[in-house]
């Protein structure tokens, strides 16, 4: 699997537009307000496309197209959510109520249902609103546990002292 954080290529843009029901062909993913992730199989087939748009300094709207959940390793998810939360205080996702696959994936990722928005999806269809705050994120908690374990596993460097030698009676 190959993972890229570069601006989306045309095929990734098309897949995301198809799966999300939003037109991403007009977006300029080179702008700093965008965060992009693409995962591909070795043959180049798309497995995952995700974009975060930082609409305000505190809010990132996330759109995803997941073709194969197995590409979303814990390490990749920790990287995505750590990056998004380094720039935003919340992540927002809006999905049509009939998209059962997306609803299941949002639940597995740890998003919290926040409400119903009439005509909230493209101005014509109703939508469900989901959000994630840093304290909700299982992925930030995992990243914190990993960093703590790594810090504890490091062997301290002792300068001075007896370096473990016994100097007196036992």
pLDDT greater at residue 166 or residue 141:
141
pLDDT of residue 20: 87
Burial (0-12, 13-18, 19+ Cβ within 10 Å), 153: exposed
Angle between helices 74-87 and 138-153 (to 10 degrees): 110
pLDDT greater at residue 11 or residue 150:
11
Taking phi first (over 0 means left), then psi (-120 to 50 degrees means alpha), and beta for anything else, what does residue 161 get? left
Token pair, residue 6, equals: 């570069």
**Model confidence pLDDT, tens digit, residues 151-170:** 666 655 555 555 455 555 55
Identify the band that residue 149 occupies on the pLDDT scale cut at 50, 70 and 90: low
Distance CA 80, CA 132 (A): 13
Beta bridge partners of 95: 128
Mean per-residue pLDDT, 100-107: 90
pLDDT of residue 141: 77
Give the residue among 46, 104, 108 at the shortest CA–CA distance from 74: 108
Mean pLDDT of the residues in the chain:
87
Containing 127, the helix (H) or strand (E) segment is strand 125-132
Distance CA 31, CA 28 (A): 6
| Residue found under tokens 């994120």 | 137
**Model confidence pLDDT, tens digit, residues 32-66:** 899 999 999 999 999 999 999 999 999 999 999 99
For domain 2-144, give the CATH number.
3.40.630.30
Which stretch, 46-60, 96-110, 130-144, has highest mean pLDDT? Answer: 46-60
CB 13 within 8 Å of CB 25: yes
Lowest mean pLDDT among 58-67, 103-112, 143-152: 143-152
- For the chain, the helix, strand and coil percentages under 3-state DSSP, each to the nearest 5: 35, 30, 35
Q: What is the pTM for the complete model shown?
A: 0.80
pLDDT greater at residue 152 or residue 80:
80
**Model confidence pLDDT, tens digit, residues 2-38:** 999 999 999 999 999 998 888 999 899 988 899 999 9
Parse the chain into domains and list their residue ranges: 2-144
Mean per-residue pLDDT, 132-157: 73
């Amino acid at each position: 699997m190959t993972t890229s954080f570069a601006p989306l290529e045309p095929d990734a843009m098309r897949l995301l537009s198809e799966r999300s029901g939003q037109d991403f062909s007009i977006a300029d993913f080179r702008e700093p307000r965008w965060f992009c992730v693409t995962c591909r199989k070795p043959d180049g087939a798309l497995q995952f496309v995700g974009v975060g748009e930082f609409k305000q300094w505190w809010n990132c709207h996330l759109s995803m197209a997941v073709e194969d959940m197995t590409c979303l390793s814990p390490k990749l998810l920790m990287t995505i959510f750590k990056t998004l939360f380094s720039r935003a205080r919340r992540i927002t996702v809006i999905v049509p109520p009939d998209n059962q696959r997306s609803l299941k994936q949002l639940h597995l990722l740890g998003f919290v249902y926040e409400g119903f928005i009439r005509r909230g999806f493209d101005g014509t269809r109703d939508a469900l609103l989901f959000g994630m705050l840093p304290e909700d994120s299982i992925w930030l908690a995992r990243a914190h546990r990993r960093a703590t374990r790594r810090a504890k596993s490091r062997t301290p460097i002792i300068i001075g002292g007896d370096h473990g030698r016994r100097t007196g009676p036992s």
